[in-house]
Amino acid sequence: MDWFGRAKIAFTHAATPLPLQNKDGSATDLLKVCEASTPPCQLNPLLFNGNIQTMWTAVKEHGPPIYYRRRIFDADHKTYKGTFTVDFAVNPHQDVDESLPPRTAFFSEEEFEKIGSDDSRPMLIVLHGLSGGSHEIYLRHAIAPLVMNGGNWDVCVVNARGCAHSKVTSGVLFNARATWDVRQVVNWARRTYPNRPLFGLGFSLGANIMTNYVGEEGANCPLKGAISVGNPFDLEVSNKALQRTLLGKQVYSRVMGTNMKRLINTHKDAVLKHTNLDFDRIQNVTYLHEFDREVQTVTWGYPTENAYYRDASSSDAVLAIKIPFLAISALDDPIAVYDAIPFQEFTQNPYTVLLTTSLGGHLSWFEIGGGRWHARPICNFLNRMATEIDLDAITPNADGAALKTQFVTEFDPVRRKLRVLDT
């Protein structure tokens, strides 16, 4: 047990981390930035292991009062059609919309037409966890210092389809490798705010999606940096770990499966209209892997849920990342488990640093008094990157020579087995 809630902190990284240049011309590197951004991890000693930390999230605290304006986006992909919603953090307002989460209201058409800007403020694009949304407390804790009390950031949250009171308007639902909506939002932000440095942040399932997206984009990624928090990385390993223990199966997997079934039930009419899912079979789902078997395999054509997990995992994508990337994981996380963390991959890619804490649970890190420790390294890293580092000096060739092999071979870290066919 870590003494009195003081978690041990460790960094896993390449032997030669990505060199960076400060705006004053001095030299640094990605590891030094990550280390300087990471404060001591002193957690509530009464929440002394990952299960207790994670279960404490069921205690409904209010959390920071973040206000949002929502915009419905029409998907611009011919296959991944339909709509999805994006919530933009805004100044406090008095508008109330009972159809949306608290403190959230729609943009008017006139307001949204004026949203573009040529300013150079940093902007953060966030992805939430499974069945969540912009209203999640762990997410609001993380972005509050960036947007409240004089924070200089613009922040938006991409809601997964059907989540956070958004509608399902096609047969395309979200899954663990659903990078198309965040890609569209990043490209939209690049056009709408041409001078802003863009950054990404993902939590849990959203961390897996963000990692996949950054890996798929490689050297062409429009983001200047990204953070992954509580990423399950290897979904097959994580899911089998959930099924192996009583708490994993009967608490975590059951709760997540129930939440996903409730989400489908909320959109029953749209599901029946737009998909060929067997709604009655979904009603018999208890655990998360059963939900994935009835929904993800049917929707996307995977033969088994394990094939889906292998295809959607982001562990290999770590090798393809070509922007500064920080991953934050708790080693006692009972959902994004230790065995799924790709430690070796982080040692091979100088663009990446893995920050681990010995305590923290899943997206928890509760401090004495109710604060959330993960908010501090997230905000410190983002602020250092945006204000101190010369982002224009970062090039995708800073990782040196490619690995030499005995044969003429090439490993593509983001090659997928699921192919989108022209229809």
pLDDT surpasses 70 at 55:
yes
Q: Is 76 a catalytic residue?
A: no
Report the distance separating Cα 207 and Cα 184, nearest Å.
17
Strand (E) or helix (H) holding 191: helix 180-192
Strand (E) or helix (H) holding 354: strand 352-357
**pLDDT at res. 61:** 79
Q: How do 198-203 and 41-42 pair as beta strands?
A: unpaired
Report the distance separating Cα 226 and Cα 326, nearest Å.
7
Task: For residue 403, name the pLDDT band (cuts at 50, 70, 90).
Answer: very low
Question: What fold does the segment set 3-233+313-393 form as a domain?
Answer: Rossmann fold (3.40.50)
Model pLDDT for residues 268-303, shown as the tens digit of each residue? 999 999 999 999 999 999 999 999 999 999 999 999
Q: Which residues pair with 9 in a beta bridge?
A: 357
Task: Please indicate, yes or no, whether the overall pTM of this predicted structure exceeds 0.85.
Answer: yes
Q: Is 128 a catalytic residue?
A: no
Catalytic residue selected from 128, 141, 289, 362: 362
Catalytic residue selected from 204, 238, 315, 364: 204
- Mean pLDDT for 93-117 is 96
Among 363, 394, 401, residue whose Cα is nearest residue 222? 394
Q: 185 near 199, Cβ under 8 Å?
A: no
**pLDDT at res. 2:** 75
Catalytic residue selected from 333, 364, 374, 399: 333
Model pLDDT for residues 370-384, shown as the tens digit of each residue? 899 999 999 999 999
Q: Is 13 a catalytic residue?
A: no
pLDDT averaged over every residue in the chain: 94
3 state DSSP class of 207: helix
Any idea where the domains of the chain sit in the sequence?
3-233+313-393, 235-312
